[in-house]
Amino acid sequence: MKILWFDSETGGLKPKLNPILTLAGIIEVGGKVVEEFYFKIKPFHGQIVEDGALKVNGITREEIATFEEPRIVHDKLNAILGKYCNKFDRNDKFIPGGHNVGFDIEQLIAFYELAGDKYLFSWLDYHKFDTMTLSLLLKKKGWIDVPNVKLETMCQAFGIQIKAHNAQEDIRATKQLWEAIEGRLVYKP
C-alpha cells in the first residue's frame, strides 16, 4: 500500500482564490517512510493571501516573496511522486492521508489546475485516510473525551508534540496520531 500523508497551509479557505503557501508530505510505501518533502510556494498570479490566514499560520508577506514559483514546485512534486508511483497504472496510486484531508485535497486539486495539470488523480486514489474521521469515531463511541477533534486537541489527548499550523509539523503529528488511533482500534474476530 502507498500512502501520501500531506498537509498544506494556505492563504485562505477558498482553493482557487487562496494559494497553498506551504505543502509538506510523507510518502509511505509498504508501511515504510521512503521520503518526506516540504515546499514553500509563491501564489499563482491573481491569487489572494488573506491577512487572517497569515495570522494563523505565522507566515509573512516578506517570506512569501522568497518562496518558490508554483510551477516549479508542481514539477518537483510530480518528480517525487513519480519515483514511487506509475501514474499511467490505474492500480498504482497513493491513498491520501491527513487530518481533515479533504480540505487539503481540494487545495491540491486547485493547485494542479492552476499549474495547467488536470491529472492529479493520476497519482491519487479516491479513497483517503483521515484522522479527523477516526477522531470523530472515538469521540462518538465515548472512547476519548475531548472538546473537539481539531488536530492540536487530538495530539494533546494522545501525548503527541505539535507546533500547530506548520504543514511539516502538522503532517508528522498527523501520522503519529493515525498510528496511535490505529493502536486503539484492535480487531477481535
pLDDT (mean) for 49-66: 96
- Whole-number Å distance between alpha carbons of 168 and 37: 8
Other Cβ atoms within 10 Å of 169 Cβ, number: 17
> Which residue ranges does the chain devote to CATH 3.30.420.10?
2-128
What is the reported pLDDT for 128? Answer: 96
pLDDT in tens, 140-166: 999 999 999 999 999 999 999 998 889
Q: Which helix (H) or strand (E) holds 102?
A: helix 101-114
Residue 187 scores a pLDDT above 90:
no
Q: Domain 2-128 class? A: alpha beta
Residue 6 scores a pLDDT above 70:
yes
- Whole-number Å distance between alpha carbons of 53 and 66: 18
pLDDT band at residue 188 under the 50/70/90 scheme: low
pLDDT in tens, 105-144: 999 999 999 999 999 999 999 999 999 999 999 999 999 9
What is the reported pLDDT for 185? Answer: 77
